[in-house]
């Protein structure tokens, strides 16, 4: 057990990669074996993710499970891993969503081996990027997680998949190149010593250079979230990606943008971040209102949820940048909520699309009569999305709005209007699709959720209530991390970033 905990992060990163390599040994016509082995590796990593969650001490050091080895000594590049509460939670959430995506993809018929291989590669890249404490190592994993996503969209996507893939590639690659230039500039400013992230927190960077470097990192991560005006790739990509691809993009990869702000943009360039906060706040608030208004008029359910995701993430970014205790806590908690709720909504839309090959709201009515279990699960995820008390969405939004209110009442009023608009568009969509007369003959033959679908959806539904009723159990693990993050940004020094080498 000690060997596992001492190298837990390495195992979490490379176990999915080992699974992907194992799949290469299967014949193309052995689809059943591919699905079983891929799911096995996914669930093994989920178990390790739960070990990480339960073994992480919220009362202990900020960074835990640290592994540090020289890699390319002449350049100061290290294999340096470690997690605080935020990266720990996101890694655990990634293992959960990947395992669910693998099971949810059992109906895939085209290039099955390659499809599951890509999902496992994405998981390795995401966990590596979340655990990396060396900038070059982070960048390598950042690119690794994007490459298989291009294939998932381009090969298994919908009718506009090539267009969506190219748009996704151009946006993300442009952001990555800009960030790479900034990384090597930091290395030069650091005296060409090393690429350690925590050491760079204590660097004294002139204000003019901070501004440029901050903008470079900000653009890369704003594209990933995405924030206005970098969001135009998102709706097409989400709609045209296969269900698992959309879930990974919305529930997992979008958090990498927020995580980038948290781990890099804010603590590395605190003075620049504070100067740009009013501009960023404006962008997020415009996104909340503008995107919500666009969502109201959508006719495609998947596109509506895609726009909803942008609006929710904008509020999370706002709470993070305002640097109030409740705002940062709410942003962290809401990142987890967004993973669970948005992932659940896209999975449920995938179930419906498999049965009827349509996502148009006008093609449905009265689904609650024909598919009562499905309608119940969709209702729970929908109510969590609008922040109903008792669900996880309520706690996250409550903390966020308290934090935003403390920072700026005007910001809080506009942010709250986004919540009202969110309730309008998602409740209206549900009313049109699930209630009313069951008119279309083809909808009268739609089967309700089967055992496999119920099995992979029920953990998310349970989490919605557990996180909503017992939020303190989750919040207490990142109390120290929150204090450390705010102090680091406000003082410009990593004063409480203690490393635990256990």
Q: Which two tokens stand for residue 32?
A: 């059943």
User: What pLDDT score was predicted for residue 499?
Assistant: 52
SS3 110: coil
| DSSP per residue, 338-377 | HHHHHHHHHHHHHHHHHHHS--BGGG---HHHH-HHHHHH
Cis peptide before 421 (omega within 30 of 0): no
User: What pLDDT score was predicted for residue 208?
Assistant: 83
User: What pLDDT score was predicted for residue 157?
Assistant: 86
In this structure, are residues 252 and 126 in contact, taking their beta carbons and an 8 Å threshold? yes
Q: DSSP character for 132? A: B
Distances (CA, A) of 259 to 229, 292, 297, 393, 443: 19, 23, 31, 19, 42
Residue whose entry in the numeric block shows the structure tokens 């990384």:
183
Q: Tell me the C-alpha distance between 294 and 487, whole Å.
A: 38
- How many helices (H) and strands (E) the chain has is answered by 23, 2
Cis peptide before 226 (omega within 30 of 0): yes
Q: State whether the Cα torsion 162-302-175-114 is positive or negative.
A: negative
User: What pLDDT score was predicted for residue 501?
Assistant: 44
Residue 436 Rama label (left phi>0; alpha psi -120 to 50; beta):
left
What lies within 8 Å, CB to CB, of 29 at 6+ separation is none
Q: Tell me the C-alpha distance between 468 and 407, whole Å.
A: 25
> For each of the chain's 502 residues, which pLDDT tens digit applies?
666 778 899 999 999 999 999 999 888 778 889 999 999 999 999 999 999 999 998 776 689 999 999 998 888 899 999 999 999 999 999 999 999 999 999 998 889 999 999 999 999 999 999 999 999 999 999 999 988 999 999 899 887 888 888 888 899 889 999 999 999 999 888 776 789 998 888 888 888 889 999 999 999 999 999 898 888 888 889 988 999 999 999 999 999 999 999 999 999 999 999 999 999 999 999 999 999 999 999 999 999 999 999 999 999 999 999 999 999 999 999 999 999 999 999 999 999 998 887 888 988 888 999 999 999 999 999 999 999 999 999 999 999 999 999 999 999 999 999 889 999 999 999 999 999 888 788 888 899 999 999 999 999 999 999 999 999 999 999 988 998 899 889 887 665 455 554 4
Q: Which two tokens stand for residue 242?
A: 């296969």
In this structure, are residues 93 and 51 in contact, taking their beta carbons and an 8 Å threshold? no
Q: Tell me the C-alpha distance between 492 and 111, whole Å.
A: 50
**What is Dmax (Cα atoms) for the chain?**
71
User: What pLDDT score was predicted for residue 36?
Assistant: 94
Q: Which two tokens stand for residue 346?
A: 């896209």
What lies within 8 Å, CB to CB, of 413 at 6+ separation is none
User: Please, how many CA atoms are within 13 Å of residue 101, restricted to the half-sphere of its CB?
Assistant: 32
Cis peptide before 229 (omega within 30 of 0): yes
């Amino acid at each position: 057990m000690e060997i596992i905990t001492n190298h837990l992060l390495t195992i979490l990163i490379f176990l999915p990669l080992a699974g992907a390599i194992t799949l290469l040994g299967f014949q193309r016509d052995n689809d059943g074996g591919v699905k079983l082995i891929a799911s096995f590796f996914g669930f093994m990593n989920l178990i390790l993710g739960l070990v990480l969650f339960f073994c992480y001490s919220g009362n202990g050091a900020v960074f835990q499970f640290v592994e540090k080895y020289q890699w390319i000594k002449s350049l100061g590049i290290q294999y340096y891993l470690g997690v605080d509460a935020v990266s720990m939670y996101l890694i655990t959430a990634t293992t959960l969503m990947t395992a669910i995506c693998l099971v949810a993809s059992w109906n895939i018929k085209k290039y099955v081996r390659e499809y599951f291989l890509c999902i496992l590669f994405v998981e390795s890249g995401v966990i590596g990027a979340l655990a990396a404490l060396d900038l070059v190592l982070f960048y390598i994993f950042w690119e690794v997680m994007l490459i298989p996503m291009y294939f998932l969209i381009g090969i298994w996507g919908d009718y506009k998949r090539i267009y969506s893939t190219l748009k996704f590639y151009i946006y993300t690659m442009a952001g990555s190149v800009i960030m790479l230039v900034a990384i090597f500039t930091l290395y030069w400013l650091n005296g060409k010593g090393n690429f350690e992230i925590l050491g760079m927190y204590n660097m004294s960077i002139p204000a003019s250079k901070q501004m440029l470097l901050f903008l470079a990192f900000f653009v890369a991560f704003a594209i990933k979230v995405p924030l206005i005006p970098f969001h135009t790739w998102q709706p097409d990509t989400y709609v045209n990606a296969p269900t698992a691809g959309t879930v990974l993009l919305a529930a997992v990869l979008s958090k990498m943008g927020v995580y980038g702000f948290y781990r890099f943009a804010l603590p590395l360039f605190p003075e620049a971040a504070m100067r740009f906060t009013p501009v960023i706040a404006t962008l997020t608030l415009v996104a909340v209102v503008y995107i919500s208004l666009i969502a109201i008029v959508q006719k495609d359910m998947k596109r509506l949820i895609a726009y909803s995701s942008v609006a929710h993430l904008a509020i999370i970014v706002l709470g993070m940048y305002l640097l109030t205790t409740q705002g940062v806590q709410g942003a962290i908690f809401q990142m987890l909520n967004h993973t669970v709720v948005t992932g659940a909504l896209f999975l449920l839309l995938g179930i419906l699309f498999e049965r009827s090959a349509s996502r148009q709201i006008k093609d449905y009515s009265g689904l609650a009569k024909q598919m009562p279990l499905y309608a119940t699960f969709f209702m729970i995820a929908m109510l969590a999305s609008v922040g109903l008390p008792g669900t996880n969405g309520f706690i996250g939004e409550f903390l966020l709005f308290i934090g935003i209110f403390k920072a700026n009442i005007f910001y809080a009023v506009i942010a709250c209007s986004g919540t009202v608009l969110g309730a309008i568009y998602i409740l209206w969509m549900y009313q049109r699709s699930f209630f009313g007369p069951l008119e279309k003959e083809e909808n009268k033959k739609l089967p309700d959720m089967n055992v496999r679908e119920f099995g992979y959806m029920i953990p998310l539904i349970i989490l919605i209530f557990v996180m909503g009723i017992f939020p303190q159990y989750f919040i207490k693990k990142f109390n120290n991390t929150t204090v450390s993050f705010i102090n680091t940004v406000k003082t410009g020094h990593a004063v409480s970033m203690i490393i635990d080498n256990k």
